[in-house]
Amino acid sequence: MSRWTPKQIAHMREALRLARQGWGLVSPNPMVGAVLAKRGRVIATSWHTGPGQPHAEVSALALAGPKAKGAELYVNLEPCNHQGRTGPCAEAIIESGVAKVFYSVPDPNPVASGGAARLEEAGIQVDRGLLADESWELNQFFFKYSTTAKPFVIVKAAASLDGKIATRTGDSRWISSKAARNFSHHIRAGVDAVMIGRTTAAKDDPELSARPWGRRKMHRQPWRIVLDPLLKLPRDLKLFNPQLGGPTVVVCAPEAGQKDREGLRRLGHAVWEVPRAASGLLSLAAVIDEIGRAGLQSVLIEPGATLASSALLEEPVADLIHMFLAPKFLGGKEAPSLLGGPGLENLGLAKELDILKIGRMGPDIHLVLRPSGAFGPSSVQPQAPILGYGHLTDDLDELYGTDPPDSPEAGD
């Protein structure tokens, strides 16, 4: 039986719902919501809207004013205890006269943690762990980055039921449904970077921008990262368009020409050099390290067959996989499959994936998978199961509004 009352659970659930409004707006900060309640009734709510903006607790307290005295505060992350761009939440809570604080998970950031201890020192009751699993899952990008300095890596791919990503003549638009493609824009909207391989860039000429439907306006675009070992991609591709906003990074091999590097930099793009892996391709582990060094907390890989094989088999880097399977067969020995590369020699080498979710996205099957060894909750919440919410799918309508049937086609 839960040690929390249904009312307390409902208040924290509301804090989490509010926190989710920050999807794509708050990085490098976590998504945080706060609810102030007195005698079971909500008196103020708020959520963190982005870097430099007040923390959720502080803005809820400001809304409540003197009514905060004696109230309970529900917040999905331990209140901070440091002076950053905004003041420490712990001090604001103490000053407000709040009687009790419920928080879900500790702040893993050594600079900001210690808020709960400070509150207790000041005589405020503190209750930890309410809806900890959901709260951990909500901010896994932030938790992974804070504890490893590496980004959380998502791989997203779509295929037919027989695992094909195009027909034998190369026709690939679109295998998955509009609902699945909309969902991909939702993920793009929430990550710090989107990454593809050279061939996908050259063949599909994607913009790699996040274009979620409905009322949400993107205030920033994810970084675009393309793996182009010898810097041979034509410069008139859409992802080099300076109007898109947000930088484009081209990752190259040590032998890439200096002139090509300078040319790209003159156009305002970044060039990162990484070593080659044993496969001869660029080392993905090194790319992931670079992404972390740039301060990016999450990356979505949208791989062609070569990059999929590289990211899922040869140099596994994924923490979470979103797979869409369209209920159709394409057949054809020559038609490309989801994973290219050399492939495994024997079954014993195949690693099992945890299936976190089997759902539907429009007509397609939506699988959310977790490779073994992927980032887990242990550093933050040792017992937490991984729930496989698959990026807040239940809240998409709330974030964007319902997708009108005549809305423009989402695509690359």
Ligand X SMILES: NC(=O)c1ccc[n+]([C@@H]2O[C@H](COP(=O)([O-])OP(=O)(O)OC[C@H]3O[C@@H](n4cnc5c(N)ncnc54)[C@H](OP(=O)(O)O)[C@@H]3O)[C@@H](O)[C@H]2O)c1
Nearest 5°: phi and psi at 410? -80, 145
Is 300 or 380 the residue whose CB approaches ligand X more closely? Answer: 300
Q: Is 88 in the site for ligand X (CB under 6 A)?
A: no
Q: Is 158 in the site for ligand X (CB under 6 A)?
A: yes
Closest approach of Cβ 181 to ligand X, in Å? 10
Is 131 or 271 the residue whose CB approaches ligand X more closely? Answer: 271
Among 31, 281, 291, 325, binds ligand X (CB under 6 A): 281
Segment lying near ligand X (by CB under 6 A), choices 90-98, 127-135, 194-202, 382-390:
194-202
Is 104 or 176 the residue whose CB approaches ligand X more closely? Answer: 176
Is the link from the previous residue into 342 a cis peptide, with omega within 30 of 0? no
**Cα maximum dimension of the chain:** 71
Q: Residue 322: which residues within 8 A CB-CB, separation 6 or more?
A: 154, 155, 156, 157, 183, 184, 187, 366, 367, 368, 390, 391
Is 305 or 356 the residue whose CB approaches ligand X more closely? Answer: 305
Site for ligand X in 210-249 (CB under 6 A): 227, 229-230
Structural tokens at position 227: 């793996």
Is 79 or 197 the residue whose CB approaches ligand X more closely? Answer: 197
Among 77, 124, 155, 157, binds ligand X (CB under 6 A): 157
Go through the chain and tell me how many residues it has: 412
User: For 262-278, what is the HEC assignment?
Assistant: HHHHHCCCEEEECCECC
Q: In what order do the strands lie in the sheet with 353-361?
A: 270-273, 248-252, 223-227, 193-197, 298-301, 152-160, 320-326, 364-371, 353-361
Consecutive H or E run containing 156: strand 152-160
Among 7, 69, 168, 203, binds ligand X (CB under 6 A): 203
Q: Per residue in 274-289, is it b (16+ CB within 10 Å) or e — as a string?
A: beebebebbbbebbbe
Q: Is 24 in the site for ligand X (CB under 6 A)?
A: no
Catalytic-role residue among 57, 137, 290, 314 = 57
Q: Is 209 in the site for ligand X (CB under 6 A)?
A: no
Is 124 or 301 the residue whose CB approaches ligand X more closely? Answer: 301
Closest approach of Cβ 172 to ligand X, in Å? 5
Q: Count residues near ligand X (CB under 6 A).
A: 28
Question: Residue 300: what residue type?
Answer: L
Among 109, 297, 310, 381, binds ligand X (CB under 6 A): 310
Is 244 or 277 the residue whose CB approaches ligand X more closely? Answer: 277
Segment lying near ligand X (by CB under 6 A), choices 112-120, 256-264, 298-306, 395-403:
298-306
Give the residue among 218, 259, 21 at the shortest CA–CA distance from 207.
218
Q: Is 303 in the site for ligand X (CB under 6 A)?
A: yes
Among 71, 80, 124, 282, binds ligand X (CB under 6 A): 282
d(CA 163, CA 336): 9
Closest approach of Cβ 8 to ligand X, in Å? 43
Segment lying near ligand X (by CB under 6 A), choices 27-35, 61-69, 119-127, 197-205:
197-205
CB 91 within 8 A of CB 54: no
Is 57 tagged catalytic?
A: yes
Q: Is 288 in the site for ligand X (CB under 6 A)?
A: no
Question: Residue 286: what residue type?
Answer: A
In sequence order, which ranges of 20-172 are alpha helices (DSSP H)? 56-64, 89-96, 115-121, 132-138, 140-148
Site string for ligand X, 326-365 (x = CB under 6 A): --------------x-------------------------
CA 20 to each of CA 70, 184, 195, 199: distance values in angstroms, whole numbers, following the listed order:
27, 17, 24, 35
CB 97 within 8 A of CB 72: no
Q: Is 306 in the site for ligand X (CB under 6 A)?
A: yes
Q: Is 284 in the site for ligand X (CB under 6 A)?
A: yes
Tokens 């989710």 belong to 20
Closest approach of Cβ 235 to ligand X, in Å? 16
Is 85 or 232 the residue whose CB approaches ligand X more closely? Answer: 232
Q: Which residues are catalytic?
A: 57
Which residues here bind ligand X, judged by CB under 6 A? 157-159, 165-166, 172, 175, 196-200, 203-204, 227, 229-230, 281-282, 284, 302-307, 310, 340
